[in-house]
Amino acid sequence: MKTIYRFIISLFVVLMVISCESQDKNTPEQPPNVLFIMIDDLNDYQGVFGGHPQAKTPSIDKLSQSGTTFINGHTNVPVCQPSRNSLFTGIYPHRSRDFGWTPHFKQAVLKNHKTFIELFKENGYRTLGTGKLLHANVRAYWDEWGVPEGINYGPHAYSGIDEKGKRIMGHSSVPEPFRSINVVDGSFAPLSDTPVISDGNGGFKETGWTYGNKPYHYIDDTNRDLMPDEQHALWIDEKIKALEQTEENKPFFMGVGFVKPHTPLYAPRKYFDMFPLEDIIMPEIKEGDADDCFYSSTYPQTEMGLAYYQKLKAAYSGKDEGLRKFLQGYLACVAFVDDQVGKVMDALDQSRFKDNTIVVLVSDHGWQMGEKDYLYKNSPWDESTRIPFIIRDPNRSKQGDKVTQAVSLIDLFPTLKEVCQLEGNTNQNKTQQLDGFSLKPFLENPKTGTWQGPNGALTVLGAGINKPIKGIGFNSNPSALWHIQITKDLDTSYVARQNYTYRTKDWRYILYRNGKEELYNHKTDTHEWENLAMDSKYADVKAKLKTEMFEILN
């Protein structure tokens, strides 16, 4: 009797398990939420990426340890607007011919393509956003939009008042000629360093801080308005808490775009105090490193990055004084924005959404800090193309996974489309597919061999649509004829007018529009100090990289 009883009990348990499994299989899975964090002008200056030994980024490092980090992630164009246009539409810049400052919804090609924000909304997601995401925002994409300031780079120093409000200026503590390169890029100072102007009598008077046409209240760091990034972080925190109070099961896509460390490099004093000037470790810059580079052969010395560096040196008497102060401001703003990331992540991780929310953190491009006599974005080297690139997928990522395969921002749209199972066309004519490849295989196995994407990441430095190269025509100069390798279905004269850089796990190859080349071996030369392009020993490597790059261009 006991044996029969045990058998009946065992059979009952088995049937219950089978029944539960059957119900689980028939119950539709709750779609994952997405928290998308984008940071402006952030290079690899985070602890986990090893870009600067003194960078203080505990929040980004913590996020990295809880998800999958793509340590060889790159931008597809190292300038704000075209980078974001490409990222959100999933179309390479060389295919859209978008290298400049046209909003995506007005650009000839991209206006026919959906952003992934629109696709999320079409798939039943609640879309919530604040800050600098798309360079030109479209309010209709969002069910709820946050802080009105949007992508405000302020507050700014000001010099006076006119009919449009307070006239902004470069910060008075920054000497000429660097201060006057423009009111955004030529300034760095703690908020406690109150701007001053001449009083006309040989003395100085304080002015203060402003948004231009909006006031910015500042008495001291304990009595001031929140900066835009602080407002965005607070809005996300409050929005997550508000969503927790609802019983609605609708999934959400939530985006936040932080402006810092975009110039001007202003932040509260405590962030500058983290990096005493006398203790700052300077970037490793090789004397004469630009001598075997060809950037200046296609861009004039008046180009922003080249001119900025020369003017920064001219503004200060000491050899490294200007760069040291600029670097202090950059590190301070990186630490400041890391705190904002921490506020956002704390809000998520302390909520009921933690285990069903995919987190993505990226930047639009990096920033060159004086290497190769260059101070800006829009360069073809690692400092400008390499970016933080982290995805935490609770259903796939394992804590601390690192991926060494070179990937780029173009891969984010297809990744989100696959892991969130988004349905629908991504363009109006239903013909062109997304250019990137889903990173889902890497989320499941960082060493996977099944990824279908290219061997390397392609970045383009645009030379403009209607700006022919002086002295170089489609058939006028043999050195410019590299573009004949591109298939005829593209506007070859247009595509060939741009500059390209291609980064794999171990190599970087650069091809300028005048035919000049650079080649760097990252296994032995992480600083990209020695250009091997003219060394015949590396001809086969160069040819292979060039072929791979043209396969993407085709």
CA distance 210 to 170: 12
Is there a domain that residue 213 lies in? yes
Q: Are the C-beta atoms of 55 and 334 separated by less than 8 Å?
A: yes
pLDDT of the chain along its 554 residues, tens only? 545 555 445 544 444 544 444 443 333 478 999 999 999 999 999 989 999 999 999 999 999 999 999 999 999 999 999 999 999 999 999 999 888 889 999 999 999 999 999 999 999 999 999 999 999 999 999 999 998 765 689 999 999 998 888 999 999 999 999 999 999 999 999 999 999 999 888 899 999 999 988 889 999 999 999 999 999 999 999 999 999 999 888 999 999 999 999 999 999 999 999 999 999 999 999 999 999 999 999 888 888 999 999 999 999 988 899 999 999 999 999 999 999 999 999 999 999 999 999 999 999 999 999 999 999 999 999 999 999 999 999 999 999 999 999 999 999 999 999 999 999 999 876 666 899 999 999 999 999 999 999 999 999 998 753 343 333 232 223 233 333 344 344 455 677 789 999 999 999 999 999 999 999 999 999 999 999 999 999 999 999 999 999 999 98
Do 437 and 338 sit in the same domain of this protein? yes
Half-sphere exposure of 303 (CA within 13 A, CB side): 19
Is there a domain that residue 517 lies in? no
CA distance 138 to 140: 5
Do 320 and 398 sit in the same domain of this protein? yes
Is there a domain that residue 543 lies in? no
CA distance 416 to 31: 12
Is there a domain that residue 365 lies in? yes
- What pLDDT is recorded for position 318? 81
Angle between helical axes of 412-419 and 80-89 (0-180°, round to 10): 30
Number of domains comprising the chain: 2
Is there a domain that residue 523 lies in? no
Do 219 and 260 sit in the same domain of this protein? no
CA distance 87 to 364: 8
Do 123 and 171 sit in the same domain of this protein? no
Do 401 and 269 sit in the same domain of this protein? yes
Do 214 and 232 sit in the same domain of this protein? no
Do 220 and 232 sit in the same domain of this protein? no
Beta-sheet strands, E only, within 296-422:
357-363, 368-369, 375-376, 389-392, 401-403, 407-408
Do 208 and 263 sit in the same domain of this protein? no
Q: Of 446, 477, 496, which residue constitutes the final position of a domain? A: 446
CA distance 58 to 78: 26
Is there a domain that residue 333 lies in? yes
Is there a domain that residue 77 lies in? yes
Q: Of 200, 224, 248, which residue constitutes the final position of a domain? A: 224
Residue 238 belongs to domain spanning: 33-151+227-446
Do 187 and 301 sit in the same domain of this protein? no
- Burial readout 126-146 (b: 16 or more C-beta within 10 A, e: otherwise): bbbbbbbbbbebeeebbeebb
Q: Are the C-beta atoms of 414 and 458 separated by less than 8 Å?
A: no
Q: Of 446, 478, 503, which residue constitutes the final position of a domain? A: 446
CATH code: domain of residue 88: 3.40.720.10
Is there a domain that residue 7 lies in? no
Do 44 and 191 sit in the same domain of this protein? no
Do 248 and 183 sit in the same domain of this protein? no
CA distance 277 to 291: 29
| 95 token code pair | 């295919």
Closest CA to 261 of 309, 328, 192: 328
Q: The tokens 């190599």 sit on which residue?
A: 507
CA distance 363 to 361: 7
Do 254 and 349 sit in the same domain of this protein? yes
